[in-house]
Amino acid sequence: MKRLLKSIGPAIIVAAVVLGPGSILTSSKVGATFGMMGVPVVLVAAILMIAMVALSARLGLVYENSLCDELADRLGRSVAVAIGAILFTLIALFQSSNNLALIGGVEALLGKGGLSTAVQLGVLLVFNGCIVACLYLLRNLYRSVEGLMKILIGLMSIAFLINLFVSFSAPREFVPVEATEAPDLLPLLGMIGTTFSVAGAFYQAYLVKEKGWGLGDARKGLIDSTVSISVLGLMTVAILLTANRVFYGNPEPVVLGSVGDVALQLEPLFGSKARIVFAGGILAGALSSFLVNALIGGTVMSDSLGRGSRLDQPWPVHLTTTCLLVGMGVAMMALAREGSVVLLITIAQALTVLGIPALAAALIYLGTRPDLTGERKVPRWMLALACVGFLVACGLACLTAVKVYEKLAG
């Protein structure tokens, strides 16, 4: 057990960013509308995520240079910059959802219908300011982030498991009825996309280098990927089962518009204490995703420009700060004027069409180079599952393209 715990580190950071507010909300919606049908979907997505994270970790161990430097050497710097720019813009714009989830978690924790706009903006300013200060003041940023993510994942695990136990120990207040209309597939697709996060997997190659692992730590990398992403999958299943027990088959369906809504909707059945526990899990998810999401965008962008890929270098920190500020700015616009960020979110969704399959293709490309021989060779099962994941990413991208087109046409 001690050896196992020492092997866990980089991928727990990936799990922390993936198990964010988006995953919590979509899993709750799937449990409420699809019931137990969502469980096998989560398991398949988790298996594909394990393979993609394990592949990225392997590449971080076998290559001396970073991923973007390797792409620049083999395909040209312009290819690396294109991937970095798409990923940075996508993450910077979607960072706004983490800011809004932070507000939702605070409101759910307080049990209020909503805070004033001035208070909401103040919370975002203070929190983002504290994060930026930590980025520049912490001496060993990676070790601090890894330790914090382990704590937050632990808090989320405890919170969601407690609510799962409470939901099944309490009797239902309604008799489940069969749905007469076909459920909306968007939450199910969203859950696949939030569980199988290629952007998070791509960052794993950078994290193993931050950890100081080399080729001799390949087994640790596989254990780390398997255990950490399995925890992610189990937590997603726990959230889904809780929502299934509480909401599925309700003759008077509730609208789960935000992560705060999920916590507040549980209060009539669970009571204020369980609502606080669930809100605490939501808040931990928002905080964990908040920082690591920005680190992914800042680090990969810096690396693509040839400015460094380590957290003890200035440019990754500068660009991470930029990512945080853009996300905060977009969230403030959304809070101050509803509907003002629709175009920006549409742009982010459009970039997903190009960005996510491109990241998966880059990992597979680097994993199939002929110079990877002997101990450096990537296992075939890992590449096979990664190829399946690439096809899934392409399918999700196509569906996103249709969604963006409908939004623009409307």
Span 311-337, pLDDT tens digits: 889 999 999 999 999 989 888 888 887
Task: Output 288 or 323, whichever has higher pLDDT.
Answer: 323
**Is it the case that residue 5 has pLDDT exceeding 80?**
no
Q: What is the pLDDT of residue 79?
A: 93
Integer Cα distance of 13 and 90 in angstroms: 19
pLDDT of residue 23: 80
Give the model's pLDDT for residue 16. 85
Q: pLDDT by residue (tens digit) across 219-244?
A: 889 999 999 999 999 999 998 998 88
Q: Write down the domain spans for the chain.
A: 2-171+184-250+259-409
**pLDDT, position 149:** 87
What pLDDT, on the 0 to 100 scale, is given for residue 182? 66
pLDDT of residue 100: 79
pLDDT reported for residue 225: 93
Confidence of residue 27 (pLDDT cuts 50, 70, 90): confident
State residue 369's pLDDT score. 95
Tell me the pLDDT tens digit for each residue of 156-172: 888 888 888 888 887 77
Q: What is the pLDDT of residue 165?
A: 87
pLDDT (0 to 100) of residue 373: 92
Residue 396 — pLDDT band, cuts 50, 70, 90? Answer: confident
Query: What are the tokens at 339?
Result: 């509907």
Rounded to the nearest integer, the mean pLDDT of the chain is: 84
How far apart are alpha carbons 390 and 49 in whole angstroms?
Answer: 11
Is this model's pTM higher than 0.95 or not?
no
Of residues 206 and 177, the one with the higher pLDDT is 206
The pLDDT, as a whole number, for residue 350 is 55
If one compares 194 and 132, the residue with the highest pLDDT of the two is 132
Predicted confidence at residue 407, as pLDDT, reads 62
pLDDT at 281: 77
Q: In this predicted structure, what is the pLDDT of residue 60?
A: 96
Using alpha carbons only, give the angle 219, 141, 259 rounded to the nearest 5 degrees.
Answer: 85
Residue 343 has pLDDT above 70, yes or no: no
pLDDT band of residue 43 (cuts 50, 70, 90) is very high
Across 121-146, average pLDDT: 89
- Kindly state which CATH superfamily the domain 2-171+184-250+259-409 is placed in: Amino acid/polyamine transporter I (1.20.1740.10)
